[in-house]
Amino acid sequence: MRTAVVIGTGLIGTSAALALAGRGVTVHLADHDPDSARTAAALGAGTDEPPAGPVDLAIVAVPPAHVAAALADAMRRGAARGYLDVASVKGGPRRELEELGLDLSSYIGTHPMAGRERSGPLAGTADLFEGRPWVLTPTPGTDVEVLNLALELVALCRAVPVVMDADAHDRAVALVSHTPQLISSMVAARLEEADETAVRLCGQGIRDVTRIAASDPRMWVEILSANPGPVADVLAGVAADLDETVRALRALQSADDTKRQGGASGIEDVLRRGNAGRERVPGKHGAGGPAVYEVVAVFISDEPGELARIFADAGRAGVNVEDVRIEHATGQQAGFVQLMVEPSAAPGLTTALRERGWAIRQ
Amino acid sequence: MRTAVVIGTGLIGTSAALALAGRGVTVHLADHDPDSARTAAALGAGTDEPPAGPVDLAIVAVPPAHVAAALADAMRRGAARGYLDVASVKGGPRRELEELGLDLSSYIGTHPMAGRERSGPLAGTADLFEGRPWVLTPTPGTDVEVLNLALELVALCRAVPVVMDADAHDRAVALVSHTPQLISSMVAARLEEADETAVRLCGQGIRDVTRIAASDPRMWVEILSANPGPVADVLAGVAADLDETVRALRALQSADDTKRQGGASGIEDVLRRGNAGRERVPGKHGAGGPAVYEVVAVFISDEPGELARIFADAGRAGVNVEDVRIEHATGQQAGFVQLMVEPSAAPGLTTALRERGWAIRQ
Interface test with A, best of B187, B191, B250 (most A CBs within 10 A): B187
C-alpha closest to that of A313 among A323, A304, A321: A321
Residue B360 DSSP code: B
Contact B133, B147 (CB under 8 A): no
- Predicted confidence band of residue B345 (pLDDT cuts 50, 70, 90): confident
B113, B119, B170, B176: which to substitute to probe chain A, counting the most A Cβ within 10 Å? Answer: B176
Interval A38-75: pLDDT, tens: 999 999 999 999 999 999 999 999 988 899 999 999 99
Report the distance separating Cα B315 and Cα B309, nearest Å: 10
- Direct distance between the N- and C-terminal alpha carbons of chain A, in angstroms, rounded to an integer: 56
**What are the E-state strand segments in chain B?**
3-7, 26-30, 55-60, 80-85, 107-112, 133-137, 160-163, 294-300, 323-328, 335-341
Give pLDDT tens digits for B143-198.
999 999 999 999 999 999 999 999 999 999 999 999 999 999 999 999 999 999 99
Give, in order, the Cα–Cα distances in Å from B357 to each of A158, B298, B300, B350, B354.
21, 10, 11, 11, 5
Q: How many CB atoms lie within 10 A of CB A207?
A: 17
Predicted confidence band at B327 (pLDDT cuts at 50, 70, 90)?
low
In the prediction, which pLDDT does B292 show?
Answer: 61
Interface test with A, best of B235, B268, B272, B307 (most A CBs within 10 A): B307
pLDDT of residue B288: 37
Of B181, B199, B286, the CB nearest to A280: B199
- Give residue B282's pLDDT: 85
B3-164 homologous superfamily = NAD(P)-binding Rossmann-like Domain (3.40.50.720)
Q: Is the pLDDT of residue B329 over 80?
A: no
Q: What is the 3-state secondary structure (H, E, C) of chain A?
A: CCEEEEECCCHHHHHHHHHHHHCCCEEEEECCCHHHHHHHHHCCCCECCCCCCCEEEEEECCCHHHHHHHHHHHHHCCCEEEEEECCCCCHHHHHHHHHCCCCHHHEEEEEECCCCCCCCHHHCCCCCCCCCEEEEECCCCCCHHHHHHHHHHHHHCCCEEEECCHHHHHHHHHHHHHHHHHHHHHHHHCCCCCCHHHHHCCCHHHHHHCHHHHCCHHHHHHHHHCCHHHHHHHHHHHHHHHHHHHHHHHHHCCCCHHHHHHHHHHHHHHHHHHHHHHHHCCECCECCCCCCCEEEEEEECCCCCHHHHHHHHHHHCCCCCCEEEEEECCCCCCEEEEEEECHHHHHHHHHHHHHCCCCECC
Q: What is the dihedral of CA B285, B287, B288, B294, to 10 degrees?
A: 30
Inter-chain contacts counted by CB atoms under 8 A, chains A and B: 474
Chain A CB contacts of B239 under 8 Å are 239, 242-243, 246
**Which option is the CATH number for A171-280: 1.10.3660.10, 3.20.20.70, 3.30.420.40, 1.50.10.10?**
1.10.3660.10
A119, A164 Cβ separation under 8 angstroms = no
- Could you tell me if B296 and B339 are in contact, meaning their C-beta atoms sit under 8 angstroms apart? yes
Chain B touched by A184 (CB under 8 Å): yes
CATH class of this structure's domain B294-355: alpha beta
pLDDT at B155: 94
Q: At residue A332, what is the residue type?
A: Q
Q: Mind listing the pLDDT tens digit for each residue in B60-76?
A: 999 888 999 999 999 99
Residue B127's alpha-carbon distances to A177, A361, B17, B116, B284, in angstroms, are: 37, 8, 11, 12, 17
For chain B, where do the domains classified as CATH 3.30.70.260 start and end? 294-355
Residues with Cβ within 8 Å of residue B36, at least 6 apart in sequence: B9, B10, B120, B121
Which pTM was predicted? 0.76
CA A13 – CA A57 distance, rounded (Å):
13
Taking contacts as CB-CB distances below 8 angstroms, the residues of chain B near A213 are 274-275, 277-278
Q: Which residue has the higher pLDDT, A276 or B359?
A: A276
Structure confidence at residue A46 (pLDDT): 97
Model confidence at A169, pLDDT cuts 50, 70, 90, reads: very high
The residues that bridge with A4 in the sheet, in sequence order, are A27, A57
- Average pLDDT rounded to a whole number, residues A138-155: 94
pLDDT for position A119? 78
Smallest Cβ distance to A164: which of B197, B260, B332? Answer: B197
User: Degrees (nearest 5) of the Cα angle B323, B328, B332?
Assistant: 165
Sign of the CA dihedral with A142 first, then A144, A148, and A151 last: positive
Return the pLDDT at A334: 65
Output DSSP code: residue B114: -
Residue intervals of chain B classified under CATH 1.10.3660.10 are 171-280
pLDDT tier, A327 (very low <50, low <70, confident <90, very high otherwise): low
Q: Which of A65, A75, A79 is nearest to A103 (CA)?
A: A75
Q: Which residue has the higher pLDDT, A357 or A171?
A: A171
Q: What is the interface pTM, i.e. ipTM, of the complex? A: 0.76
Q: What is the pLDDT of residue A328?
A: 57
Q: Mutation target for B interface from A110, A165, A221, A250: give the one with most B CBs within 10 A.
A: A221
pLDDT cut 70: percent of chain A above it: 94
- B285 min Cα distance to partner chain A (Å): 5
Q: A179 vs chain B: nearest CA distance in angstroms?
A: 8
Show Cβ contacts of residue A147 under 8 Å, excluding neighbours closer than 6 positions: A108, A136, A138
Other residues' Cβ atoms within 10 Å of the Cβ of residue A159: 26
How confident is the model over B287-321, as pLDDT tens digits?
A: 333 346 788 888 877 676 777 788 778 877 878 77
Q: Which residue has the higher pLDDT, A115 or A89?
A: A89
- Asked if the C-beta of B187 comes within 8 angstroms of chain A's C-beta atoms, the answer is yes
For the segment A218-240, what is each residue's pLDDT rounded down to a tens digit? 989 989 999 999 999 999 999 99
Q: In the predicted model, is pLDDT for residue A199 greater than 80?
A: yes
Backbone angles phi, psi at A97, to 5 degrees: -65, -40
Q: With CB atoms and an 8 Å threshold, state whether B245 touches A235.
A: yes
Average pLDDT, chain A: 90
Parts of chain B belonging to CATH 3.40.50.720: 3-164
3-state secondary structure of B91: helix
Confidence of residue A289 (pLDDT cuts 50, 70, 90): very low
Pairing verdict, β B3-7 and B133-137: unpaired
Q: Which range has highest mean pLDDT (A127-131, A242-246, A291-295, A329-333)? A: A242-246
* Dist CA B98 CA B92 (whole Å): 10
Higher model confidence: residue B339 or residue A307?
Answer: B339
Nearest CB partner across the interface for B209, out of A183, A322, A333: A183
Instruction: Compute the nearest-CA separation of A79 from chain B (Å).
Output: 31
Instruction: Please name the residues between 296 and 325 in chain A that touch chain B, using a CB distance below 8 Å.
Output: 299, 302-305, 307-308, 310-315, 318-325
pLDDT of the residue at B219: 86
